Amino acid sequence: MPELPEVETVCRGLNQLTLQQKIRGAEVLLERSIAYPNSADEFLEGITGSAIALWHRRGKYLLAQLHPGGWLGVHLRMSGQLLSVAPETALHKHTRVRLFLDQELRFVDTRTFGKMWWIPPNQEINEIIPGLKKLGVEPLSPEFTVSYLENKLKSTRRTIKTVLLDQAVIAGIGNIYADESLFVSRIRPDTAAFSLTSAQLEQLHQAIIKVLQTSIDKGGTTFSSFLNVMGVNGNYLGQAWVYGRTGVPCRVCGATIERIKLAGRSTHFCPLCQE
């Protein structure tokens, strides 16, 4: 699933390519890709004629502020892509929704878990997309402090890896960047969250910000089907510290990278650097 850096990369691309463009029409090719309203016809009627004022990212959600009002919401889930293409471009067989702007914005989704919402001007966005209400702090925001992290971790016996995956604690971090942040902070992923020292909390806080920002600068991580809005792969995975590197030498100490399961998720770490 695309995580914060990948969704942020798409968001920035959309803001470069689609701002102030009017949605002249649309086509829904798979009705269950529309989470709201209840019918594709209502969705099409609602968004047609609106202009895209600005794209925002909240956690792993993409939210387009529309003019004169309302919102368009997108969650890419496991395999979703938003691709800006010329109208004459051949249709990908997994295209689910087409938005007709100056170019064409296509929602391509192989596994069909992705969703789109149209939120009317008189509706609260958090009521239509209830997942937004459950999100924790944005890790690249001023609200993400060492104190915030300490308060969230001090009373839980869950492993630190499991806590980092909890979107109600920190929005946008998934399996890749949890593993990478824990490596950079030299913390074993199976460490009980409440047991982290003040020094470890400082290290983890800094590592999360550094790893996420580095990946954004690299255009995200290429995994399964992730592409940015122009159809280009991200470059972070080529320099990943531990994620996806099971059985190969650690880039720092040379020890063999190991993989374990925590809460059902594959977890990668270095047994020496993260003692």
CB 242, CB 183: distance < 8 Å: yes
Among 35, 60, 47, residue whose Cα is nearest residue 132 = 60
Q: Which residues lie across from 97 on neighbouring strands?
A: 28, 107
Question: What is the side-by-side order of every strand in the sheet holding 71-75?
Answer: 34-36, 115-119, 71-75, 61-67, 51-58
| Annotation marks residue 265 as catalytic | yes
Q: What are phi and psi of 66, to 5 degrees?
A: -105, 150
| Residue 275 designated active-site | no
> For residues 211 and 243, is the Cβ–Cβ distance under 8 A?
no
d(CA 164, CA 178): 6
Question: Which of the following is catalytic: 57, 58, 60, 98?
Answer: 60
C-alpha 103/C-alpha 77 separation (Å) is: 24
CA separation for the pair 140, 173 (Å, rounded): 11
The CB density around residue 120, as the number of other CB atoms within 10 Å, is 14
Active site residue 60: yes
- Residues facing residue 73 across a β-bridge: 63, 117
Our answer to whether residue 2 is catalytic in this structure is yes
Catalytic residue numbers read 2-3, 60, 265
